[in-house]
Amino acid sequence: MKHDRKLVEIGFDQDEIKCCSAIRWVLPFLIRQGKIVCDTKRKARYNDLLLCEVLEEPSEKEAGHISSNMVERVRLKSGKHEFEMESIRKGLNITVAGNRYSSASFCGGLRNPLTGKLNGQICAGKTIVNLGRMNVGGFLNFNNGKEEPIRLRVLGVLVRNSSVPVNLADFKPTFQVRQSKSCFTVLIVGIDTNTGKTTCATAIAQELTRRGHKVTFEKKTGGPCARDWIRPFLQRSEEYGHLGSKFSAKITDFPGRDFVDAAGCVTSHSVTNFESFAQDSMRFSQIFVSSFCSEYNIIEIAGNLSEQPNLILLQRPDLRRKVGMVVFTAPSVYEIAHEFIHYAVCVLGYDKKKIVLSGQIGNEDCPSLISAEVKHRLKIPICKSGIFSNGVIMPYGNELVEEIFLRQEERRLN
């Protein structure tokens, strides 16, 4: 380990230093350098990379399928990115400074995501916490789940050329722009996490792919989990997301992406200007869809509709014009379905004829009265997106895809 006043230099080995999945595009640079240079005096900004020492480990009972207290780790081997869900262990990790907003887990960051008030400065010597999958680190404001936060001691902010911080925004991937073709956009929204949005996206992607169509997927907003943009393209028998699971792909050719690719941020709350974030996100869609010659692009909006990055993105006229079908993953409650339709039409300006309900309200255990009332009073179709099999919901996209084709035909005739 070399020291130079405020700089600390150590050798980089991706098998020894755990790298979070959010830094997937920075990995080639770190591997080429063969070392990490940390500035021990620099104060971190949003999306700067941090070298941290893990001070404690989660209890065994906390490790699970959707736990925040895991490492979603990435390695680069033989031209492929290898993702793996691992237990958090004491040692060195590279994470990203930012904010996370979660109604079901940790909420915090450089600033309070609710009020915008500065929580403090992140620099060497400070103690922060893992805010999710070791992808994002910061100060904790709220703990909305049952997990105990894991503390991290910051060793420094990663720099290059001795003075420039290593920031996600400087490593966004580039794409080859091709002649654009007609692409049908499906927008998937819900009122909170765990309402079935990714299951719905997976069901649509798998069914369209099975029918021979080119599909792309974007998780436009939300938190740090590569699983969300990987899952729609897994085979039905595959699984990735629980502790010990792995996934490998050449991600330059992979048709799923998120905000790290689109705007160079670790979460949609890790930005200083939500308007710029939304603009970058929309510009990315055009380039991304073009580069894959996609026929269908699925966009998932994470969390609740009124979170600032969600609201600003959904209000954009260019997104509204682009969307051919809106899928709302509703709970089994008539009033919530009714309120969403009013909000989507009267506040956000979306066409009611484009709205379809799915998620819990489309499941087999939804009371028949609720689905009948929705269809009778609201005149909105309800589509099944999953089938229960051995206690697990398996994606089922046939009904949703038929609705897509119906709206495509209506658009063609008009």
| H helical segments located in 131-235 | 197-210, 227-230
**Alpha helices (H) along 127-213:** 197-210
Amino acid at 293: C
What's the confidence (pLDDT) of residue 389?
74
- pLDDT tens-digit series, residues 133-174: 999 999 999 999 889 999 999 999 999 987 899 999 999 988
What would the pLDDT profile of 315-327 be if each residue is shown by its tens digit?
Answer: 999 999 999 999 9
Based on the structure, what is the number of domains in the chain?
A: 2
Over its C-alpha atoms, the chain yields an Rg (Å, rounded) of: 21
More confident position, 414 or 33: 33
pLDDT at site 224: 79
> What tokens appear for 59 in the block?
């209890």
Tell me whether strands 91-97 and 49-54 are parallel, antiparallel or unpaired. antiparallel
Residue with tokens 């080639």: 28
pLDDT confidence band for 381 (50 / 70 / 90): very high
> What's the Cα-to-Cα distance from 160 to each of 7, 33, 295, 373, rounded to whole Å?
11, 9, 40, 60
Domain that holds residue 276: 184-234+245-413
Cβ atoms of 93 and 134 closer than 8 Å: yes
Q: Are 306 and 140 in contact (CB under 8 A)?
A: no
Q: What mean pLDDT comes out for the span 91-106?
A: 95
Amino acid letter at 65?
A: H
Residue 113: CB partners within 8 Å, gap ≥ 6?
99, 100, 101, 107, 141, 269
Q: What percent of the chain has pLDDT over 90?
A: 73
Whole-number percent of the chain with pLDDT over 70: 96
Regarding whether 215 and 96 lie in a shared domain, the answer is: no
Asked whether residue 63 carries a pLDDT value surpassing 60, the answer given is no
pTM for this predicted structure = 0.93
82 and 16 housed in the same domain? yes
Q: Please name the residue that has the structure tokens 């004829």.
A: 353
Biggest CA–CA distance in the chain, Å, is 72
343 has a pLDDT exceeding 90? yes
Average pLDDT over residues 396-406: 94
Q: What pLDDT is recorded for position 237?
A: 56
CA gap 264, 368 in Å, rounded = 45
Model confidence at 242, pLDDT cuts 50, 70, 90, reads: confident
Residues 66 and 215 in one domain: no
Question: Do 208 and 118 have their domain in common?
Answer: no
Amino acid at 405: F
Q: Is residue 303 part of a domain?
A: yes
192 and 143 in a common domain = no
- Asked if residue 191 and residue 313 are part of one domain, the reply reads yes
End-of-domain residue from the set 143, 171, 199: 171
**Residue 63 shares a structural domain with residue 206:** no
Instruction: Calculate the average pLDDT of the chain.
Output: 91
In the block, tokens 């736990």 appear at 67
State whether 164 and 217 are in the same domain.
no
3-state secondary structure of 363: coil
Indicate if 208 and 336 belong to the same structural domain.
yes
Stretch 48-76: mean pLDDT? 85
**CATH assignment of the domain containing 335:** 3.40.50.300
Instruction: For residue 339, tell me if it sits in a domain.
Output: yes
| Mean pLDDT, residues 386-397 | 80
Half-sphere exposure of residue 350: CA atoms within 13 angstroms, side-chain side = 27
240 within domain boundaries:
no
**179 belongs to a structural domain:** no
Residue 95 lies in a domain: yes
In this structure, is residue 371 part of a structural domain?
yes
Is 177 domain-assigned?
Answer: no
Domain annotation covers residue 178: no
pLDDT of residue 65: 54
Q: How far apart are CA 308 and CA 118, in angstroms?
A: 17
133, 251: one domain: no
Tokens of 382: 């309800």
Is the pLDDT at 338 greater than 90? The verdict is yes
Say what the pLDDT of residue 5 is.
57
Decide which of 171, 206, 221 is a domain's last residue.
Answer: 171
| Helices 197-210 & 398-413 angle (0-180, nearest 10) | 70
Q: Which of 144, 171, 198 is the last residue of a domain?
A: 171
356: left (phi over 0), alpha (psi -120 to 50) or beta: beta
Shared-domain flag, residues 167 and 196:
no
- Do 190 and 124 have their domain in common? no
Catalogue the E-assigned strands of 111-170: 127-130, 136-143, 151-160, 164-165
